[in-house]
Chains A and B, each alone.
Chain A
Amino acid sequence: MLKGSLGLIALSSLLLSGTAFAQEKIKVGVTATLEGTYTVLGEDGIRGFQTALNVLGKKVGDKELEFVIASTDATPDSAVRAVRKLIEQDKVQILLSPLSGDEGIAVKNFAKTHPELTFINAASGAQETTYVDPAPNFFRYNMDGAQWQVGLGKYAYETKGYRKIATVGEDYSFIYTQVFGLVLEFCGAGGQVTNRQWVPLGTKDFASVIAALPDDVDAIYLGLGGADAVNFLNQYQQAGGKAHLMGGSIMIDQTILSSKGNAKSALIGTLAASGQADTWEDPGWQKFVKDYQDAFPPNKRFPSPSLLATNYYGSTMALILALRQVNGDLSNNQAKYKEALAKIELDAPNGKIKLDSNRQAIGTNFVTEVVDDGKGALFSKVVKVIPNVNQTLGYDPAVFAKIGLPSRTVPECKKY
């Protein structure tokens, strides 16, 4: 009895406090991969998100933003579970989610079941998410995996003189999209991709994969991330590997370049492409790096923000700036807000970003090379900046549609 009445009191006080503040708050749900293979990526994503809050503040007119963070593990079902929990239990109105490729496809599909809410992609980069049957309430302010590889294939072929390469990648949508972008351009320039190996996300023992790498190629492209990339590099070093390397966007990124141990030194000189470059001179980028560095003590962050931090920063920026444009008006199923989101042009740290008709980002891409700063820290150095990269990678949309969707074997190695 006593227990019951105590519970009632607690419940009613909770309800009271809820009604007292509900009108001044806008609830936003955030997901990040804070478990599993991509833990470090999720953690840095959240740092980028917090940096954005530090810079922009949490006020929208007279309303205050309130954030609820949920953890996922890069699997689609974990992302849907987290998003559902945020909507049903925490009653969020806007979502900043998710981080990883397969999660993105699942959350986009889930978004259709909640047309009244707004979903802003945090960092995921599978092509399918916005290219196939896009959800009208799902907005993506980062480029997809293929856009992030623009420039890499041509640079490798023309400047580095690579003719034959092989790829090793994690077996899921984002890496398919990255290899798609690479193969399209490299083979288009005349190169050959002789072998594509796929490993499950979360592989521990790469020894046999490393042994099966071909010898007769000019470079090996690595499409790995997080713990997989670190495991691979460690075992690659133990096996004495010496091939030229090329890297995907989350392979050549501070999540790997500042990992513990010296296995990462195999990456010095590695050619890569991504939506950012650590040493870019642009003042907007430099300011973002400084904001990021000032927001956290040096042992709680990377020397420079990772691609995930940048993406979360950009998405949070879009979320807040568009909300300010409509003065926090979320009435009529958030119609005004969605309109503002579709139209907004961001001056993001990694270049200007605007959305196409599928609500997919058109942005700037960077070809980079890994350099040692002389003190043992590794950074990605810009070798080429390519503005205005769209989702069809400059191809005519009809031709692009014929290539097919990224998968283990698509695209074929030929000129389209």
Chain B
Amino acid sequence: MAAVTSGASDAMTRFVERHPAWALIVIIAVAVALWLIFAVWPPGLEEAIGRKRVFLNALFNGITLGGLYFLVASGFTLIFGLMRNVNLAHGSLYLFGGYVGYAISASTGSWILSFIVAFVLTALVGVLLQVLVFRRMEGQDLRQTMVTIGLSIVFADLMLWACGGDFYQIQTPSWLIGPIELPLITAVKSSGEPVYLRYPLVRLVIFLASVIIGIAMWLALNRTRIGMIIRAGVDDRDILAATGVRIQIVFVLVFALGAGLAGIAGVVGGTFQSLSPGEDIRFLLASLVVVIVGGMGSIPGAALGALIIGLAEQLGSVYIPTYAIVVTFLIMVLVLALRPQGLLARR
């Protein structure tokens, strides 16, 4: 762990030395953000940009939505990183996972179980996709991309046929319903008594879970043997295969993990939003934007991209409702113009 921190601080020192102006801007932005979050807002500021409660809620909603986006996009980016395969059926896996989760939670009443089953079943679909479809056209990027588009249309129609056009919502377990008070002051009453922020517990739990999954993935990739193999595969597939690693099994494993994560994300999305036809495309688009912003193939990039897009959506919907949709794509355009490989890509 010490090596990690020192490595991070080294990188930071280098960044400050190379771009002193940028570093200053970043430090000021962080300071302003911290002040906005922790300070009691003076009345002038409340008049100018609205109540602090609204701001904090939008901020937290953005971060928790980012957690959901990360779950979807991390699988997408992992599969791309290793196999150079843009899986445009990833959104279908999300929706499939959600429907499975709904069926399990409705029939057994167990929310936790719905995650496990959704993960296993979507991972299985992922394995089938890899074995039956992608292995047959390895190295033919364009063909694979076209096939995944076709598959996503077929899956969408199959799911419409099986589940109908209705909206499904996965029941939040009773112990997660309701808000909790966070130690952040939103306002001070005239009696001098502080008013604390109340925030839905379920969203915080889901965000924590996605952070844990993200860290676990990072550790697995950087600290285990299989992670080492995967990283080696990302760098150079052919040499890795030449060293005697059975790369097809690694491919299947990674595809299963990526698909399973999309399935879990489907259950999460079905719990704090809802499931319906069309959600597959919405989340495919979201994860495309997230990985383009963050950098194709990079897990930390997916995390950063998801956070930026989630925040942009929610803050946008509160402060500039008419243009909220544009903001996301504006960010994507900016990133493509200034740093086309993505914010955290290695190359």
Contacts and interface: CB of A to CB of B under 8 A. Distances in A.
A205 B318 CA distance: 12
Interface stretch (A30-38, A137-145, A184-192, A399-407): A30-38
B317 A37 contact: no
Nearest to A205: B273
Given A205-B61, A208-B57, A231 B273 contact: yes
B102 to A, nearest CB: 10
Interface string B23-62: 0000000000000000000000000001001100110010
A36 B274 CA distance: 12
Interface residues of A, number: 27
A287 interface: no
Given A208-B54, A211-B57, A261 B273 contact: no
Contacts of A207: 57, 61, 200, 203, 314
Contact of B167 (A39, A210, A211, A240): A39
A68 interface: no
Contacts of A36: 165, 276
Contacts of A238: 172, 177-179, 200-203, 272
A239 B172 CA distance: 13
B169 A234 contact: yes
B150 interface: no
A210 B53 CA distance: 11
Contact of B58 (A208, A227, A231): A208
A71 B164 CA distance: 12
A305 to B, nearest CB: 19
A208 B319 CA distance: 10
A392 interface: no
B272 A212 contact: no
Interface in A221-280: 226-227, 230-231, 234-235, 237-240, 260-261
B84 interface: no
Nearest to B165: A35
B17 interface: no
Contacts of A260: 169, 171
B178 A240 contact: yes
Contacts of A415: none
Nearest to B313: A205
B166 interface: yes
A204 interface: yes
B258 to A, nearest CB: 24
A40 interface: yes
B165 A237 contact: no
6 closest cross-chain pairs (CB), A and B = A211-B57, A227-B167, A240-B179, A35-B165, A238-B200, A204-B273
Given A212-B54, A234-B169, 7 more contacts: A39-B165, A71-B165, A207-B200, A211-B54, A227-B276, A230-B274, A237-B178
9 contacts: A204-B273, A207-B314, A208-B318, A211-B318, A230-B167, A230-B274, A238-B172, A238-B203, A238-B272
